[in-house]
Structure 1
Amino acid sequence: MKNVALIGGIIGLLFSIIAQLFAVIDDSYTFGNIGFLGMISGITAIVCSLILNKRPLLAGWLLILATATGVYALAGLYLIPGTMTLIAGINTLGRRNENGTSRRT
């Protein structure tokens, strides 16, 4: 799931940058003003993928938060990376150890 979160974060960051560039060229700042929130969501997903094994509970919740803010910022443009980061976040939170307890280290 680390790779899924990393790829989702990179794609989300790229989609946000592309949306920002089209907003500047097109003079419609609907995606432009809030496109920075999408960039922050992509960067958050990348950072969370790096700390996924060390602090899985924090990383899982931050991945879900990054998905929500990315979809809010870019609507339909963030659906593919948002789905990837949401799956990684839910899987990280739902992961169990061998003895049946959740992994909270």
Structure 2
Amino acid sequence: MKKSAMLGGALGILISVIAQLFAVVDDSYTIGNIGFLGMLSGVIGVIAGYQINKKNDVALVGLGIAIILGTIALSFLYLIPTILMIIPFVKVFNKR
């Protein structure tokens, strides 16, 4: 679970950076400006993934925020990181 959440966060950061680079090339700053929000959600996802075994409540809130912010920021581009973070989110939620 921990590795899946951290991988989802790291992949979210990578996809957000790539979206930013394509926005600079295409001069379409709509995805580029929101890409910063995607990077922020990736960082929150990595931190929440690290907290899974220590503080379940913090991890649950962090993963929820990361999933929602990433999906709002990059919509379909954030699909794989969302799936990778939903799996540990559901398992941590069921442990409570």
Same fold (TM over 0.5): yes
Matches within 5 A, 1:37-52: 37-52=37-52
Instruction: Find the residue that maps to 2:29 and give its secondary structure.
Output: coil
TM-score of the pair, normalised by structure 2: 0.95
Q: In the comparison of the two structures, how many residue pairs are matched?
A: 96
- Separation in structure 2 between the aligned mates of residue 26 and residue 36 of structure 1, nearest angstrom: 17
TM-score of the pair, normalised by structure 1: 0.87
The match for 2:7 is 7
Structure 1 stretches of 4+ with a deviation exceeding 2 A read none
**Does residue 93 of structure 2 align to residue 93 of structure 1?**
yes
Instruction: Find the residue that maps to 2:85 and give its secondary structure.
Output: helix
Rg: which structure is higher?
Answer: 1
Matches within 5 A, 1:1-105: 1-95=1-95, 102=96
- Separation in structure 2 between the aligned mates of residue 38 and residue 88 of structure 1, nearest angstrom: 19
- Separation in structure 1 between the aligned mates of residue 57 and residue 51 of structure 2, nearest angstrom: 10
